[in-house]
Each structure stands twice: as structure tokens, then as C-alpha cells.
Amino acid sequence: MSCVWRRRQSLTVSDFASAAELGVRASYGEEHSLRYDVVGDFAQYTADGKFTIPVAQTFSLDDWRTALEISQSGRAHGKLILLPAAD
């Protein structure tokens, strides 16, 4: 199986080193610096119910194209989550 993709149109949010190595965009690091020093604060805010991340919709991995279309349209209004298949 092979996959054809455009590097600058791909986005990773978790593997910054590989993003740089592969030449794809990362959610941070291009224009922003990473702020690991505040991760603990945000985790505590979340635990205290002071900070939430809105989830717009969840999708099975088979529906990744639909999630991508919504993401690229700018109409998500929250996070789009791809769910792994249940074993």
C-alpha cells in the first residue's frame, strides 16, 4: 500500500520531531514556542473544571475523510476526534 500526500498540507499535533524530519506542519513550533512549563497548570485547571476543550464531533477511523473535510472547512467549532477501532 502506498500513500500520496502533500507535506505542507499535513498536520501533526503530537510528534514534533517527526514533523520536522518529514517536513510537515506542526501545531506549534512554526510560529510559537512550546510551553511545557504550563502543562501542569492546565492539567490542574482541567481537573478543577476550570478549563475544558470542546469536542465538536467524534469519528471512526474509517470516517477520517469526513473529519478532514470538516476540519479544513473551518466549521468544526471544537476538536474533531478520531476513535480507534474497538478490539
Q: Delimit the domains of the chain by residue range.
A: 1-51, 53-87
- Take residue 50 and report the three cell numbers written for it: 476550570
The reported pLDDT for the residue numbered 54 is: 87
Higher pLDDT, 27 or 82: 82
| Measured distance CA(25)–CA(44) in Å, rounded | 29
pLDDT exceeds cutoff 90 at 60: yes
Within 13 Å of residue 47, how many CA atoms lie on the same side as its CB? 6
The per-residue pLDDT for range 9-18, each reduced to its tens digit, is: 444 456 667 7
